[in-house]
Structure 1
Amino acid sequence: MLTGLMQPRPLTIAHLVERLEQLFAHKTVATAGTERVTYAEVADHARRLATVLDDLDVPVGARVATFASNNRRHLELYLAVPATKRVLHTLNIRLSAEHLEYIVDHAEDDVVFVERALLPRIWPSAERLSRVRHWIVLPDDSDAAVPADPRVLDYDELVAGAAPYRGCLEDAFAAEEENLAAGLCYTSGTTGPPKGVLYSHRSTMLHCLGTLAAGLVGIAESDVVMPIVPMFHANAWGLPYGAMLAGAALVLPGPSAEPEHLLSLMARERVTLAAAVPTVWTSLLPRLDDHDLSGLRMLLGGGAAVPASLSEAYRARVGLPLTHSWGMTEVSPVGAIGGTRSRHAGAAEEEQVAVRAAQGQPMPLVRLRLSDVEDGHEPPRDGRSIGELQVAGPWVASGYFRVEATDAFTEDGWLRTGDLATIDGEGYVRLADRMKDLIKSGGEWISSVELEAAIASHPDVAEVAVVARPDPRWGERPIAYVVLREGSATSADDLARHVSPLVARWWLPDEFVFMPVLPKTGTGKLSKSALRARTA
């Protein structure tokens, strides 16, 4: 065996600090339309935070939690915490107190950085979180009360009073230390207690490079990137790290997800790439025509299947479809990206729409395969044969933090996703359903994803979710929960007539239930578990 003669330099997030200073110091980070700082300032604050963490005696390897929205100070923590060999633990700000307390305690967080406006959400739990030594408040324009407690410190005061760490943070890492933990993110816990996914420096940097791959996301220095997806959720799909590596400007929307706020930011900052879950893109659709979005080159949707009707509505209105991204917290989180290839340029419109409706093709270094749910064999890649989607790669989890979950992985180490999918001859993945969301009626399977897509194609449907209801004769029958667009008088009969030509007759929902809003999870996805509980 002949070993290559290359330098064993580690892949670490610390590399980003010096890169920002030396190459992109003048580029900017805008927060909520009210603040703009340069990457030079972000890097300086990250260096000062390195000193702050040392002064607070935060041990190497300690979990440092953040409870914050998408803002500049949160971005500084994205750099400083892992660059000093601590572990960035982003907390979901929409979780219940019970889940928050479980996660902070399970992670054994040493410090919590919390946005002032969010203090009332987490401070009542402080006495039950005895392992947390410091609560550091990130200032904002709110007037939330700050407790007079010696454990509570002010972020800006600490940063201003600290000398910046001098020298190259990257040089503090030995080659083997690229596998040190860098980030921790917990799953939603919809099928049991939340489970922690522990990212390494190596996995994060490789995923970061993946977001720069041309022909997929392809973040470039000329981009203006706006992650609407929360920074507490799987590193905002890796977009902040990717933007900083490429030198792209960042636009962080702050705590507001109001459509007017988001669209105004996108127009004013000339955003080129934005990413959000489908429910957010649905909420923006009615106001698209009021804003100049001509700067856009890509709109990413993920976290749930993007209905083809929604994607094509964006293509008609702003000239760009919503591009699928598929992934999971365990996949850092992006595993596949949608979109057409060069060979589709001359294809018929119907074929192009079908390709755009796929979840996409795997990112570089990511491997995908199917496994038959009955006998475990690998189905053919013919675009028709369905199996459980399994994934492997250098930014895919190999286990969970302090939890045994051997059933989540195959004997040869692939992650079992729980998604049912097809893969075609060109490698495009199309989700059929989540295994737990399939509806078995009269011994035959109904795909909730396909049925939802058919219902969503009605122009008056804003949102839809299909779940199973127990049935004494058929075992299960589909029930559709629907949100109509404002002012619509569409009836259940209208929807049934619309869907009838699109699916098998026995797939038609037994009932259409109209709701003003559908329940959401903490990451903004539709909560089918809440609907199933309502339906049972």
Structure 2
Amino acid sequence: MHGLMQDWPLTVDKILDHARNWHGDREIVSRSVEGPIVRTTYAEVHGRAKRLSSALKTLGVKPGDRCATLAWNTARHIEAWYGIMGIGAVCHTLNPRLFAEQLCYIINHAEDRVIFTDLTFLPVLLEHRAKMPTVKHVVVLTDEAHMDPAAYPGALCYETLIAAASPECVWGDFDENTAAALCYTSGTTGNPKGVLYSHRSNFIHTLVTMGKDVMGISATDTVLPVVPMFHANAWGLAFSCSAVGAKLVMPGQKLDGQSVYELLESEAVTFSAAVPTVWQMLLGHMRENKLGLSTLKRVVIGGSAVPEALVRAFRDDYGVSVTHAWGMTETSPLGTLATPSGKTMHLDDEAQLRFTLKQGRPPVGIELKLVDDAGERLPHDGTTFGRLMVKGPFVVGEYFKGDGGDILDDEGFFDTGDVATIDEHGFMQITDRAKDVIKSGGEWISTIEIENLAVGHPKAALAAVIGAAHPKWDERPVLLVKLQPGVESSKEEFLSFLEGKIAKWWTPDDVVFVDDIPLGATGKIDKKLIRERMKGYVLPTAKAKETA
């Protein structure tokens, strides 16, 4: 027997329809690529997105066609986002931090027909346009005053395009399982793979993120998504803010500490989300200029593990609550958040910190398990390491065009590639990527934990840990440190700083000071490149062992 409730397809165009109907006058503020701050509303964005949909149909775009965006977080990007998805086409967000060769591969693999781009990225598109045969139109997200025909001959002006288009366009009217958006993994191993989100998966993810123990944003919030829209849908904030009617502040291309601070203060931001490196830059700017925060109450930090020093600084120096989150492109992206549970809510700040630093608990709709190499389930005791597996209605089932083959186990779980523990309270903690974990004498050592402690040293700007070959222990940890400008340090100083904070046998066998620690396209430490750079490195302890 089926229920007798209305069958209302969960398509994301309904989210922006709701925004227009019930909080259409709520502001969306953007730092434009051209420079000035631009103010609009949900109602205006809705109307312009409808015009864009009409324009796309005029350009020959059909349901299922891929339309790419190569753009920063602005209101125009949101218009393109909803305008593409509203007619059943697929919004393919491109990461501009990828190498040009990777961008060309992704564009061709996706078979993008249209690319919406900011002025910033025209040179790379022009240089490689011959390598993108499926692209029929390039639309520049600007007005005629800023168009330069020589920058990309044949490119279309966004403002001119939508001004000439009809404001009447039917959205939705298709199955909720229709593809809505496409986002590629960062491709640290092999070519990037496409994750094809459906309208249903995005809608359900939006409803989940609005929960109090997840993002918990409301109509009274002013939200600054520093996390880019090309990073797994800006962690869903472009959807959830539209759904609840939060004021939305889009930072454009300027993500340095000063620029972020200016928006936080001038727009009275209450909630923000970004990777740790952004917050490190913000804290550095505030400390240097002796600044405070007037309105910011909560930040969500994800992308990589949050250092303890960062949580303490926000909490103790600025009165800002930090929520540590974990997810990936394949989970839309939110998978867990370290919000207090009924069992941990009464703990004092110091005791609570132990749980805040973990990646947290899954919201409803996400299932987690830990398995060993044979696929057998492992206990949730907080100490047993295992491969982290995940499933749910907004978790990938297969990659676009079947890349990677069958990616689910017999129970329908996806292997995240992370090694983790889950404690008795349900808090999950990532200990490493499976490919980065150090196995020393048969025991696992978490590079992430050592890195987070090391970067808490006042002289450290960045820290990374990799494994180096050892004749007795197979591998031993090496700590690489990029120092703050103008300071000096020593191996002994950093090892002394770590003493007592980690198990003695986790202590790095060496500390190497470097000028640069490379970051990948998503802002995470690029361990693959570090290992290549350190190819000829030999541990001092390994030399001593061989000599003995």
Which position in structure 2 is the counterpart of 1:302? 302
**Shift in alpha-carbon separation, 1:458–1:34, aligned structure 2, 3 A:** same
Contact 1:282 1:463 in 2 (8 A): no
Which position in structure 2 is the counterpart of 1:36? 39
Which position in structure 2 is the counterpart of 1:239? 237
Distance 1:230 1:349 in 2: 31
Residues 157-203 of structure 1 deviation map (CA, whole Å, 9 limit, x = unaligned): 00111121256x24x23xxx100000000001101100000000000
Distance 2:145 2:229 in 1: 20
Distance 1:422 1:477 in 2: 21
Alpha-carbon offset, residue 148 of structure 1: 7.3
Residues 114-169 of structure 1 deviation map (CA, whole Å, 9 limit, x = unaligned): 111210122211112111110111117997854476641110100111121256x2
Distance 2:403 2:53 in 1: 33
Residues 195-233 of structure 1 deviation map (CA, whole Å, 9 limit, x = unaligned): 000000000011111111012211111111111111111
Alpha-carbon offset, residue 457 of structure 1: 3.1
Which position in structure 1 is the counterpart of 2:206? 208
Contact 2:126 2:152 in 1 (8 A): no
**Shift in alpha-carbon separation, 1:140–1:226, aligned structure 2, 3 A:** farther
Contact 2:147 2:157 in 1 (8 A): no
**Shift in alpha-carbon separation, 1:143–1:532, aligned structure 2, 3 A:** farther
Alpha-carbon offset, residue 343 of structure 1: 4.2
Q: Does 1:84 align with 2:82?
A: no
Which position in structure 1 is the counterpart of 2:456? 457
Contact 1:63 1:86 in 2 (8 A): yes
Distance 1:149 1:524 in 2: 29
Contact 1:120 1:144 in 2 (8 A): no
Alignment of 1:276-291 (within 5 A): 276-289=274-287, 290-291=290-291
Contact 1:267 1:292 in 2 (8 A): no
For structure 1, the 5+ residue unaligned runs are none
Which position in structure 2 is the counterpart of 1:256? 254
Residues 383-419 of structure 1 deviation map (CA, whole Å, 9 limit, x = unaligned): 1212111111100000000133246321222110011
SS in 2 for 1:179: coil
Alpha-carbon offset, residue 472 of structure 1: 3.9
Q: What do you get for the CA RMSD once the two structures are aligned? A: 1.9
Distance 2:293 2:203 in 1: 31
Which position in structure 1 is the counterpart of 2:78? 75
Alpha-carbon offset, residue 113 of structure 1: 0.7
Alignment of 1:119-158 (within 5 A): 119-139=122-142, 145-147=148-150, 151-158=154-161
Alpha-carbon offset, residue 438 of structure 1: 0.9
Contact 1:293 1:318 in 2 (8 A): yes
Contact 1:67 1:90 in 2 (8 A): yes
Q: Does 1:9 align with 2:12?
A: no
Alignment of 1:258-407 (within 5 A): 258-289=256-287, 290-373=290-373, 375-406=374-405
Alpha-carbon offset, residue 513 of structure 1: 2.2
SS in 2 for 1:532: helix
Residues 351-377 of structure 1 deviation map (CA, whole Å, 9 limit, x = unaligned): 21101111011022111111122x322
Alpha-carbon offset, residue 504 of structure 1: 2.9
**Shift in alpha-carbon separation, 1:495–1:104, aligned structure 2, 3 A:** same
Alignment of 1:88-103 (within 5 A): 88-103=91-106
Distance 2:404 2:2 in 1: 36
Residues 93-124 of structure 1 deviation map (CA, whole Å, 9 limit, x = unaligned): 11111101110000000101111121012221
Deviates most, 140-149 or 486-495: 140-149
Contact 2:19 2:43 in 1 (8 A): yes
Deviates most, 194-203 or 252-261: 252-261
Which position in structure 2 is the counterpart of 1:425? 424
Contact 1:270 1:293 in 2 (8 A): no
Distance 2:262 2:181 in 1: 32
Alpha-carbon offset, residue 314 of structure 1: 1.4
Distance 2:149 2:532 in 1: 38
Distance 1:402 1:228 in 2: 31
Alpha-carbon offset, residue 49 of structure 1: 0.5
Which position in structure 2 is the counterpart of 1:186? 184
Contact 1:28 1:36 in 2 (8 A): yes
Q: Aligned residue pairs: how many? A: 529
SS in 1 for 2:330: helix
Which position in structure 2 is the counterpart of 1:198? 196
User: Could you state the TM-score of these two structures normalised by the residue count of structure 1?
Assistant: 0.95
SS in 2 for 1:344: coil
Which position in structure 1 is the counterpart of 2:542? none
**Shift in alpha-carbon separation, 1:44–1:271, aligned structure 2, 3 A:** same
Deviates most, 454-463 or 382-391: 454-463
Which position in structure 2 is the counterpart of 1:230? 228
**Shift in alpha-carbon separation, 1:144–1:304, aligned structure 2, 3 A:** farther
SS in 2 for 1:490: coil
Distance 1:108 1:137 in 2: 19
Q: Which amino acid aligns with 1:99?
A: Q
Alpha-carbon offset, residue 344 of structure 1: 3.1
Distance 2:98 2:455 in 1: 28
SS in 2 for 1:266: helix
Residues 216-275 of structure 1 deviation map (CA, whole Å, 9 limit, x = unaligned): 211111111111111111111111111001111111100111110011111111111111
Distance 2:316 2:516 in 1: 25
Distance 1:371 1:378 in 2: 4
Counterpart selection for 2:48 from 45, 48, 54: 45
Which position in structure 1 is the counterpart of 2:513? 514
Distance 1:317 1:455 in 2: 20
Q: Which amino acid aligns with 1:483?
A: K
Residues 436-487 of structure 1 deviation map (CA, whole Å, 9 limit, x = unaligned): 1111233332211122133233233232110112334432221212123344
Deviates most, 222-231 or 478-487: 478-487
Counterpart selection for 1:66 from 64, 69, 88: 69
Distance 2:145 2:357 in 1: 42
SS in 2 for 1:402: helix
Distance 1:127 1:359 in 2: 43
Alignment of 1:20-31 (within 5 A): 20-31=19-30
Q: Which amino acid aligns with 2:226?
A: I
Q: Which amino acid aligns with 2:407?
A: A
Contact 1:185 1:196 in 2 (8 A): yes
Q: Percent identical across equivalent pairs?
A: 41
Alpha-carbon offset, residue 512 of structure 1: 1.8
Contact 1:117 1:144 in 2 (8 A): no
Distance 1:456 1:436 in 2: 22
SS in 2 for 1:362: coil
Deviates most, 223-232 or 200-209: 223-232
Q: Which amino acid aligns with 2:102?
A: H
**Shift in alpha-carbon separation, 1:503–1:411, aligned structure 2, 3 A:** same
Distance 2:20 2:349 in 1: 46
